[in-house]
Amino acid sequence: MAMESLGVLLLHPMNAYLEQELDSRFRLFRFWDSPPDGRAEFLRANSSAIRAVVGNAGYNADAALIDALPSLEIVASFSVGIDRVDLPKCRERGIRVTNTPDVLTDDVADLAVGLAIAALRKIPQADRYVRAGLWKAKGDYTLTTRFSGKRVGIIGLGRIGLAIATRVEAFDCPVNYYQRTKKDCPSYTYYPSVVELAANSDILVVACPLNEQTRHIVNREVIEALVPKGLLINIGRGPHVDEPELVSALVEGRLGGAGLDVFEDEPNVPEALFALDNVVLVPHVGSGTHETRQAMADLVLGNLEAHVLKKPLLTPVV
Ligand code: NAP
């Protein structure tokens, strides 16, 4: 089969290089070209041509989309997390699924450490202080909290979690972790539950995949265990955290602070957080560097080409 005969549905404008290469190598369909109320008709009209879907962390092949595409053969996600792909349905239909592991690990780990330091040392807040002319007007900035040496508890010591662990070791931070399986790494302390992990950590970092067991894995009980002055870092997925509980713990001063890359209902962020100076908020940018997004795009393209050539997929999930 020729490359250009593979009909690829790109769900959202996610990366200019990816879009351009999909367009030149395959037969590209841009989902956003049809108005939201014309999409069902668009899918009906092109259902036999579309054999691949490219989604990401925000838009992916859910049950309704898969059902509307009877010729779908492969879902190539421009993300490592595939919580928005209906995996059981893909397995049932024999649809292959690929993601973009490893190439984004360093960037996401860098951001996790950056958020922790930024939140404790109040870097964005201090920047705003200088910009507002307050240094001159009011004098020295308030004291902040040390990062080096703090106990870091990681939920999910996988690729990203491990990369966070090796980074914080360089800051003399003891590393604790929780996941389903205890790892053979004696320098990190395993806790068999998230509550115990939180109770023994100063900084709790969410780095596991989103699934039914990990939805709201950071709930009120976990937040209570992390108090009084704990810091929550979330670079996993928004729904890992019970957001209203987090917001009330922060507003009521029960939690020390938070550094958040992801939110329950992106791009909607609870406005109560905007007024707090103990949180650092960034708009889901964990893998958002030129270098990594290009490498992720190359993996998506490589997986689609391997599929057409009937070669082993580069990074298969299903
Ligand atoms: P990974 O290598 O598969 O690691 C995931 C880890 O989570 C594993 O060690 C796993 O250990 C643990 N885990 C899985 N299910 C769990 C459960 N039910 N309870 C507790 N721990 C569980 O994945 P990764 O490449 O590090 O990526 C992790 C996640 O980060 C992705 O799924 C994605 O959602 C998120 N992410 C976010 C961004 C961003 O921009 N913010 C970017 C990339 C990735 P066990 O199987 O032993 O439990």
| 105-281 and 3-101+290-308 share a CATH fold | yes
Range 102-136 burial, b when 16+ CB lie within 10 A, else e: ebbbbbbbbbbbbbbbbbbebeebbeebeeeeeee
For residue 187, report the distance from its CA to the centre of ligand 1, in Å.
Answer: 20
CA end-to-end distance (rounded Å), the chain: 22
- Per-residue pLDDT tens for 97-147? 999 999 999 999 999 999 999 999 999 999 999 999 999 999 999 999 999
Query: What class has domain 105-281?
Result: alpha beta
pLDDT of residue 312: 98
pLDDT of residue 227: 79
In angstroms, how far is CA 6 from the centroid of its own chain? 29
Atom 3, ligand 1: which residue's CA is nearest? 158
The question of whether 237 is a catalytic residue gets the answer yes
DSSP per-residue codes, 164-178 = HHHHHHTTT--EEEE
pLDDT of residue 264: 98
Sequence-distant (≥ 6) Cβ neighbours of residue 314 within 8 angstroms: 98, 299, 302, 303, 306
Atom 37, ligand 1: which residue's CA is nearest? 236
The question of whether 196 is a catalytic residue gets the answer no
Q: Among residues 51, 237, 293, 307, which one is catalytic?
A: 237
Nearest to 217 by CA among 241, 248, 192: 241
The CA distance from 75 to 11, in Å, is 11
The CA distance from 23 to 17, in Å, is 10
pLDDT of residue 280: 98
Report the relative pairing of strands 152-155 and 27-30 from DSSP bridges: unpaired
Residues of the chain with pLDDT under 70: none
Instruction: Tell me which residues have their CB closer than 6 angstroms to ligand 1.
Output: 80-81, 101, 104, 108, 156-161, 179-181, 207-211, 213-214, 235-237, 261-262, 284, 286-287
- And the tokens for 169? 């070791």
DSSP secondary-structure letter at 123? Answer: H
Q: Any idea where the domains of the chain sit in the sequence?
A: 3-101+290-308, 105-281
Return the CATH architecture of domain 3-101+290-308. 3-Layer(aba) Sandwich (3.40)
For residue 200, report the distance from its CA to the centre of ligand 1, in Å.
Answer: 21
For residue 209, report the distance from its CA to the centre of ligand 1, in Å.
Answer: 4
For residue 128, report the distance from its CA to the centre of ligand 1, in Å.
Answer: 34
pLDDT of residue 228: 82
* Residue to probe by mutation, ligand 1, list 14, 60, 80, most atoms within 8 Å of CB: 80
